[in-house]
Amino acid sequence: MFAAIQPRRLYRQVADQIRKLIEKGEFAVGERLPGERELAEQLAVSRPTIREALIALEVEGLVHIRMGSGIYVTQQRPRRDAFHPEDLEGPFELLRARSLIECAIAEEAAKMITPAHTAALDAVLTKMAGTFHTPQVSIGLDRDFHTTVAGIIENSALNRFVGEIFDQRMTPYFEKLASYFEGPASWREAFEEHCAIRDAIVAGDPVRAKAAMQFHLLQSQARFSESFGEEPDAEKGHPKRGGPKSNRI
């Protein structure tokens, strides 16, 4: 049986519990795990936390996520070379931290913008406009945009923070997460949000710049909050797909 989770790096605790059940043979290779909603209810955590845990387990090689079908056990022992993100924050934790810092940065940047800063922002956006189908390039330019905004206020500590916290995306865990929730459409949305941030900063409007950055990071969180597709929300009237619920929970 699962035990209720205490609030300390939740997704890692969830992953640990599911891993132990797989290693004990409670779920056989090829068997479908309970759905997101059921796991979230039994573990008393949010569905995004469940997604973070399942992604971690997929990177370890224990499960395989089939969009629109469910989560299936692939083997009972992690790969010897498996990536264990023990000290890695989840994407929602990182996005909340970024929102606190980068919204304030955008607000200050709007007070200090110069024509040279505008040219630097426009150069990044011009490159980004043609990279919606090349995610690795898009991610690099995404980083460049946010560090360019931070660079406007000429504080090396903040600029380094923005770069370092963004670099946590450059890991096997985040690459796997992005493979499910990012694509040309999401990168186009992000590009439009970046343009709105640029326009507010260039206009010298601190309030609008802060709001545009906040909206962008909230939308980023929303994109990562989409389900894996096997459990449409009941209130929308869609049937639930997949096999019968496990009786182990």
d(C-alpha 137, C-alpha 216), whole Å: 19
In 3D space, the residue among 72, 67, 89, 85 whose CA is nearest the CA of residue 16 turns out to be 85
The answer to whether 80 and 35 are in contact (CB under 8 A) is no
When pLDDT is averaged across residues 113-141 and rounded to a whole number, the result is 94
On whether the CB atoms of residues 49 and 7 are closer than 8 A, the answer is no
The residue type at 245: K
Say if domain 10-86+228-236 classifies as CATH 1.10.10.10.
Answer: yes
Superfamily of 91-224 according to CATH: GntR ligand-binding domain-like (1.20.120.530)
Residues of the chain with CATH 1.20.120.530: 91-224
| pLDDT confidence tier of residue 198, bands split at 50, 70 and 90 | very high
CATH 1.10.10.10 domain extents, the chain = 10-86+228-236
* Residue that wins the pLDDT comparison between 173 and 99: 99
SS3 44: coil
pLDDT tens-digit readout, 204-213 = 999 999 999 9
Two tokens at 18?
């599911």
What distances in angstroms separate CA 64 from CA 29, 33, 54, 73, 176, one per listed residue? Answer: 10, 10, 9, 6, 11
Mean pLDDT for the stretch of residues 179-194: 91
pTM of the predicted model over 0.85: no
